[in-house]
Chains A and B, each alone.
Chain A
Amino acid sequence: MIEVNHLSKHFGAKRAVNDISFAVEKGEILGFLGPNAAGKSTTMRMITGFIPPSSGTAIIGGSDILKDSLNARKKIGYLPENAPVYPDMTVRAYLDFCAQIRGFSGQARKNRIEETLEKCFLKEVTHQTINTLSKGFKQRVCFAQSILHDPEYLILDEPTDGLDPNQKHEVRLMIREMSAKKAIILSTHILDEMEAVCTRAVIIAKGRIVADETPAELKGRSELHGAVSLSVKGADTDSFVSDLSGLDTVRTVKIVDTADGIFWARIYPVTPGPQAVDSIMAALSDKRYETVSFFVEQGRLDEVFRSITTA
Chain B
Amino acid sequence: MRTNESLANVTAIFKRELFGYFGSAVAYVFIVIFLLLLGFFTFYISNFFELGQADLRAFFQWHPWVFMFLIPAVAMRLWAEERRMGTIELILTFPVTVWEAILGKFLAAWIFVGTALALTFPMVITVSYLGNPDLGATLCAYIGSFLMAGAFLSVGSMTSAITRSQVVSFIVAIVICLFFILAGYPPVIRMLSGWAPVWLVNIVSNSSFLTHFLSIERGVLDLRDLFYYLSVIAFMLFVNGVIIQNRRT
Contacts and interface: CB of A to CB of B under 8 A. Distances in A.
B12 A100 contact: yes
Given A80-B90, A84-B87, A101 B96 contact: yes
Contacts of B11: 100
Contact of B85 (A86, A98, A100, A101): A86
A73 B95 contact: yes
B222 interface: no
Nearest to B21: A88
A82 B93 contact: no
A70 B12 contact: no
Contact of B90 (A70, A78, A88, A103): A78
A48 interface: yes
A48 B93 contact: yes
Contacts of A98: 94
Contacts of A82: 86
A49 B95 CA distance: 10
A74 interface: yes
A45 interface: yes
Given A48-B93, A76-B93, A97-B15, 19 more contacts: A45-B249, A49-B93, A70-B95, A80-B86, A80-B90, A80-B93, A81-B86, A82-B86, A84-B86, A84-B87, A84-B89, A97-B16, A100-B12, A100-B15, A101-B12, A101-B95, A103-B5, A105-B8, A142-B90
Contacts of B85: 84-87
A145 interface: yes
A93 to B, nearest CB: 7
Contacts of B9: 101
Interface of B: 5, 8-9, 11-13, 15-16, 19-20, 23-24, 85-87, 89-90, 92-97, 248-249
B248 A88 contact: no
A89 interface: yes
Interface in A29-79: 45, 48-51, 70-71, 73-74, 76, 78
Which of A74, A76, A85, A100: most chain B Cβ within 10 A? A100
Contacts of B13: 101
B90 A51 contact: no
Nearest to A80: B89
Contact of A51 (B12, B19, B97, B248): B248
Contacts of B20: 86, 88-89
B16 A45 contact: no
Which of A51, A70, A145: most chain B Cβ within 10 A? A70
A88 B95 contact: no
Interface of A: 45, 48-51, 70-71, 73-74, 76, 78, 80-82, 84-89, 93, 97-98, 100-103, 105, 142, 145
A50 B9 CA distance: 18
Contact of B93 (A50, A81, A85, A93): A50
A105 B94 CA distance: 17
Nearest to A100: B12
Nearest to B100: A101
B103 to A, nearest CB: 14
A49 B89 CA distance: 9
A16 to B, nearest CB: 11
Contacts of A97: 12, 15-16
A182 to B, nearest CB: 17
Given A86-B20, A88-B24, A45 B95 contact: no
B186 to A, nearest CB: 43
Contacts of A78: 90, 93
Contacts of A45: 89, 249
A103 B5 CA distance: 8
B89 A93 contact: no
Nearest to B5: A103
A48 B88 CA distance: 13
Contact of B16 (A50, A51, A81, A89): A89
Contacts of A86: 16, 20, 85, 87
A49 B19 CA distance: 28
Contacts of A89: 16, 19-20, 23
Contacts of A70: 95, 97
